[in-house]
């Protein structure tokens, strides 16, 4: 399928989704969000896709946020529908059974930071910048920023960023735990794809159970989360990959995963 606002390619088990609205710094309007959600579903349904990388076109912008021009005159009902679309798309990205990597190549503001936080791992160019500036527009984040940011960097630091709308450098984002790895701009996408390719080589059902244990368990009390973890581990023992992984360990060879 051809998309107007993003590019999509698959190679060696890794899908690369690139936001491409360069005139608008890759800002997200309704059409772009709908395309993004559709391409995520396409990647989910494609057995050839084992991992995903999300990035932006060029070096200046990952995603500059939601399209303010489109949002400016929305009614409360229209704003709710738009927010539900962005919020639901980020949640769909977060709960994909396949590993996801954000390659943040430039500014990631508002919805850009929220999309990056919805990925499992974040790689950032040394030139990238992050922020949740919604408070400066008279609103608050609505695509998960008020929930994921405290979980990643702690409540105090998250509130500081949310209440001031301050932008921070990639280095600062790395220091507070928002970013996993810093990369030179020219090496960012290659590093992100290399990591995604490594994740694509992992047993897919175990990866799915791992993500569920982390993301679903994070919303439970500790006793319930530990019980849920036991269930996730136990389900792995229904797969051929579990038998292969342990046999390969015993036989001192590399496992050959079949996805079964």
Cβ-contact 98, 52 below 8 angstroms: yes
Q: Give, in degrees to the nearest 5, the angle at Cα 184 between 56 and 116.
A: 35
Whether 34 is a known active-site residue: answer no
Catalytic residue among 78, 114, 186, 244: 114
Backbone angles phi, psi at 28, to 5 degrees: -100, 110
* Distance from the Cα of residue 201 to its chain's centroid: 19
Whether 134 is a known active-site residue: answer yes
| Among the listed residues 20, 7, 79, 15, the one whose alpha carbon sits nearest the alpha carbon of residue 47 | 15
- Tokens 């936001």 correspond to what residue? 19
Which sign does the torsion angle of CA 165, 30, 143, 38 carry? negative
Token digits of residue 59: 């070096």
* Residue 223: exposure state from Cβ atoms within 10 A (0-12, 13-18, ≥19): exposed
Q: Give, in degrees to the nearest 5, the angle at Cα 67 between 65 and 72.
A: 125
Catalytic residue among 134, 160, 244, 251: 134
Catalytic residue numbers, as ranges:
114, 134
């Amino acid at each position: 399928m051809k998309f107007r606002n993003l590019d999509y390619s698959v190679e060696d088990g890794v899908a690369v989704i690139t936001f491409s609205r360069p005139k608008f710094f890759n800002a997200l309007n309704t059409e772009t969000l709908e395309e993004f959600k559709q391409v995520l579903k396409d990647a989910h349904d494609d057995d050839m896709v084992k991992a995903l990388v999300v990035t932006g076109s060029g070096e200046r912008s990952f995603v500059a946020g939601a399209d303010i021009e489109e949002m400016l005159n929305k009614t409360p009902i229209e704003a709710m529908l738009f927010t539900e679309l962005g919020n639901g798309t980020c949640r769909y990205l977060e709960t994909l059974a396949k590993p996801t990597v954000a390659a943040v190549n430039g500014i990631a503001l508002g919805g850009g930071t929220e999309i990056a936080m919805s990925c499992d791992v974040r790689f950032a160019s040394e030139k990238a910048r992050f922020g949740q500036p919604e408070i400066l527009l008279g609103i608050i984040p609505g695509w998960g920023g008020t929930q994921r940011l405290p979980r990643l960097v702690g409540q105090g630091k998250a509130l500081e960023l949310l209440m001031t709308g301050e932008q921070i450098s990639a280095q600062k984002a790395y220091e507070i735990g928002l970013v996993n790895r810093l990369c030179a701009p020219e090496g960012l996408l290659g590093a992100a794809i290399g990591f995604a390719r490594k994740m694509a080589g992992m047993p897919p059902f175990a990866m799915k159970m791992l993500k569920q244990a982390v993301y679903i368990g994070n919303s439970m009390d500790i006793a319930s989360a530990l019980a849920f973890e036991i269930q996730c581990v136990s389900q792995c023992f229904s797969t051929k990959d579990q038998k292969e992984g342990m046999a390969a360990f015993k036989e001192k060879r590399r496992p050959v995963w079949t996805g079964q």
